[in-house]
Amino acid sequence: MSKRFSLTPYLFLAPALIIITVFILYPTAAVVYYSFTDYNIVQPPEWVGLQNYQQLLRDPIFWKAFTNSFLYLIVTPTLIFLSILLAIVVNRPLPGINVFRALYYVPVISGTIAVGIAWRWLFDYNGGLINGILVGIGILPAPVQWLAEPAFTLPIAMLLTIWIGLGYYMMVFLAGLQNIPEDLYDAAVIDGCNPVQKHWYVTLPGLRPQIVFVAVISSLAAIEVFNEIYVITGGLGGILNSGVTMVFYLWRQAFRLQHAGYASAVAMVLLLITLAFSIINIRLLERSEQNT
Amino acid sequence: MKQIEKGYLSAAFVLALAAILFVACGAPAAPPAQTVRETVVVPQTVVAAQTVVAPQTVVVPQTVVAEQTVVVQPTAAPNPEAVIKDVEPNAEVSLWTFWLSPTFDDYIKSTIARFEATYPGVKVNWEDHQATFQDDLRNAFAAGNAPDVINLSVGEGWVSDYATKGLLLPLDDKVPQDVKDLYFKGLWEEQLVDGVNYQFPWYQGISVELVNMKVYSDGAGLKLEDFPKTVDGLPELCQTIKDKTGTLCNIRLTVNDLLAQMVYEGGVKILSEDGKTCTFDSADGAAWLQMYVDMVKAGTVDRSVLVTDQDRVGLDLFTSGNSAFYQTGPNLIREVRANNPGLYGYLAAVPAPVGKSGVLGKGLMGISVKNDTKFPNASIALAQFFTNPESMLEFSKIVAVYPSTPKSYDDPFFAAKPIAVEDSAKPIAKDIVSKYADIVPTVPNKADVNEAVLQAVQSALFDNVPVQDALTTAAKACTELINK
């Protein structure tokens, strides 16, 4: 019996396929092409072969951006640790706990740019809260220009990322915590576990799917960080390129220096890195699902 | 006799009808204000038939006097603002301005209305773009739908950036000499690319030092009249302010155009005579950079402001009341007043210190025309109209910007004694603007060259690289880039 061709499933798929083609596949293909060209956005691209990639290998600022992007991954374990801790705290049936849960979520729904500007003021030399406190209690003899110290650029941006993301990941872990049966904690107590051991042997294994999920999401976000760097460094990328990450460098090359071809080559490297990360993370996720 | 009376009545009726028809069919485009109605005495010849004794009819011509209303329709004089000829009929041109909406919506819209009345049949579509102006414009050029008329920053070097890519219309051959003569010569000749002009000079700014007297005078004990007249007086001033108040100087390098700053402030010669070698690693260049390095090492300047490319960062710091002075245009005083009204009462303004070049500055804004516009004459007419003496004067009356046209300054508005701090530069504006000149040579691959210079300047300022080494490295990179 021969199968009859039916157009109907393709019609159902068409809207999604069109959107994916227009907004993902075509731009990706275009970036691949531009990465082999000299393209300044306003004039037609000129084919230059591998020249952009050869230049990348010799470009010290690109390697600085590459290193900074990987350094930025420090936010992932920090976020996981802090948000689990916070989730455990707000998982307790305390009076008014929902208010605290909502408050911790506020940074998530606040715009990164607005929050970033507020953070600039926190770390400001003149009248900034951080300098005010540290000088006030005698830790610092004089105010520090935090935002103009190359050593502090990335840590301040990372703190901002952690502060913004904490509430969101806390909610993910909170949902996971509420799925762990209470019996397991009771059994752990009967077996002689103290509170820390209880979380080590019960909570962490129970949260494994959420931990993998958060690791995937937050590491991809970290490697693609831009907003925090842009706002904290006032669009410069930090003194001596101290805050330049790969996406920031890509943006600077494309939109400041009008080297869209070169920026496309940076984007291709970034694409390969995120692809590798995604594959590793998906494998971890699959393994985690098999184990649970 | 009855026949004669009948004849009179018929003639009067016919004349009245003619007058009504004349009025009804008059040229509709004429402005009503120019229509004059008056009563005139008109001699008329009426033919009357007379019967005499002999049975024959003779014709006797008679002259009678009748009063009637006529309409005098004078020929419209050419509009003095319509200085561009052969504007394409029914042209529709697009105009992009930079960060003028919503504050100046009324001004822009009324100027467009005046333009459309001056050049009947031309329609203008206006858009204002703000923080993303440059990105939007590049994308528009890439997509082939860039605006016909574009407000570009002369100060930031946008005109020469786009002109060197062949995207702007050269104006020298298309604008009559008498129209070119409306502008200050120095402003017309700014941002030339291979000796050709691509912009109508628009509103100008006058750099002043806004001074926060609470810090500068009350805190540091300094007198306004002692504010440095030259740039090389800044290090000592900053040291005094730091010592007495703990406040850092709010000084900004022009990180998007460091070569220009070298030229104006340091009197540095940046290119060799043949334009093939970068020469800013000279003694003048080193002295210029060393001044900033010394200030950074002395800890007297806010380093994040020093190297930001956003004027807002420095302006916000000044507005917060935490700096003694900031160099900006009087037009931005309104922002200080709006965001920190308490500071406004402590504001004073002094002329900005000049550099070794002795040149007071260069132009601020221009209006250019897209090279491949479908309506070049209409677009030129619009660009010219916005920058003509009348339009400029009206703009200056609503915000502290200054015309690029000498004639605008003849208005009593500029002679009036300033009352508000925003107006402090008004009486001297013509003298200052007339001396503006672009003394920076055109540098090929300017954005890349500037990036190389910025990296070198940062390495000297913050990484202890000797000034001479940093500049030599940058000059070498620059020479390679300009010969690419």
Residue B310 lies in a domain: yes
Whether B316 shows a pLDDT value over 60: the answer reads yes
Q: Is B457 left (phi over 0), alpha (psi -120 to 50) or beta?
A: alpha
Q: Is residue B100 located within the same domain as residue B163?
A: yes
CATH number at residue A176: 1.10.3720.10
| Residue at B115: amino acid letter | F
Q: Is A240 on the interface with B (CB under 8 A)?
A: yes
Q: Is residue B195 located within the same domain as residue B277?
A: no
The better pLDDT of the pair B75, B36 is held by: B75
Whether B76 shows a pLDDT value over 60: the answer reads no
Distance of alpha carbon B149 from alpha carbon B67, whole angstroms = 55
Of the residues B72, B104, B121, which one is the last residue of a structural domain? B72
Q: Which of B133, B304, B320 to mutate to test the interface with A (most CBs of A within 10 A)?
A: B304
Q: Is residue B460 located within the same domain as residue B331?
A: yes
**Cβ contact B138–A42 (<8 Å):** yes
Length in residues, chain B: 484
Distance of alpha carbon A267 from alpha carbon A289, whole angstroms = 32
CATH number at residue B383: 3.40.190.10
Q: Is residue B61 located within the same domain as residue B189?
A: no
- From the list B321, B366, B18, B440, the residue with the least C-alpha distance to B183 is B366
The minimal CB distance from A236 to the residues B302, B308, B448 is found for B308
Q: Is residue B223 located within the same domain as residue B279?
A: yes
Confidence of residue B62 (pLDDT cuts 50, 70, 90): low
**Cβ contact B320–A126 (<8 Å):** yes
Residue B86 lies in a domain: no
Mean pLDDT on B176-192: 94
Mean pLDDT of all residues in chain B? 86
The better pLDDT of the pair B474, A43 is held by: B474
Residue A21 lies in a domain: no
Q: Is residue B30 located within the same domain as residue B144?
A: no
Residue A6 lies in a domain: no
Q: Which of A48, A61, A62, A125 to mutate to test the interface with B (most CBs of B within 10 A)?
A: A125
Q: In the structure encoding, which two tokens stand for residue B53, read together? A: 């004794």
**Cβ contact B310–A40 (<8 Å):** no
Residue A19 lies in a domain: no
Residue A2 lies in a domain: no
Domain of B387, in residue numbers = 92-205+362-434
> How much is the pLDDT for A138?
92
* Domains: count for chain B: 3
Please give the sequence-ordered ranges of beta strands (E in DSSP) within chain A, or none if there are none. Answer: 37-38, 46-47
CB A265 within 8 A of CB A52: yes
Whether B389 shows a pLDDT value over 90: the answer reads yes
Contact residues, chain B, for A255 at CB < 8 Å: 134-135, 138
The better pLDDT of the pair B361, B21 is held by: B361
Pairing of strands B149-153, B123-129: unpaired
Pairing of strands B208-212, B325-328: antiparallel
B395-439 pLDDT, tens digit per residue, is 999 998 999 999 999 999 998 888 888 888 888 889 889 989 889
Q: Is A6 on the interface with B (CB under 8 A)?
A: no
The dihedral formed by the CA atoms of B155, B158, B163 and B169, expressed in degrees to the nearest 10: -80
Residues of chain A with pLDDT under 70: 1-2, 288-289, 291-292
CB A165 within 8 A of CB A79: yes
| Residue at B124: amino acid letter | V
Confidence of residue B74 (pLDDT cuts 50, 70, 90): low
* Domains: count for chain A: 1
Q: Is A51 on the interface with B (CB under 8 A)?
A: no
Helical (H) or strand (E) element with B40: strand B36-51
> How much is the pLDDT for A234?
81
> How much is the pLDDT for B8?
52
Q: Is residue B144 located within the same domain as residue B285?
A: no
Q: Is residue B163 located within the same domain as residue B178?
A: yes
Q: Is residue B331 located within the same domain as residue B449?
A: yes
Q: Is residue B145 located within the same domain as residue B201?
A: yes
Helical (H) or strand (E) element with A200: none
> How much is the pLDDT for B31?
38
CB B353 within 8 A of CB B148: no
Which pTM value belongs to this model? 0.79
Read off the DSSP letter of residue B168.
B
Residue A197 lies in a domain: yes
Residue B425 lies in a domain: yes
CB B269 within 8 A of CB B437: no
Domain of A58, in residue numbers = 53-291
Q: Is residue B345 located within the same domain as residue B238?
A: yes
> How much is the pLDDT for B36?
45
DSSP output for B223-238: -GGGS-SBGGGHHHHH
* Structural Rg of chain B based on CA atoms: 32
Residue B85 lies in a domain: no
Residue A191 lies in a domain: yes
Confidence of residue B34 (pLDDT cuts 50, 70, 90): very low
B238: which residues sit within 8 A by CB, 6+ positions away? Answer: B248, B249, B251, B295, B298, B300, B301
Q: Is residue B388 located within the same domain as residue B316?
A: no
The residue to which tokens 């009179």 are assigned: B8
Residue of A nearest to B299 (CA): A145
Q: Is A201 on the interface with B (CB under 8 A)?
A: no
Whether B26 shows a pLDDT value over 70: the answer reads no
**Cβ contact B135–A42 (<8 Å):** no
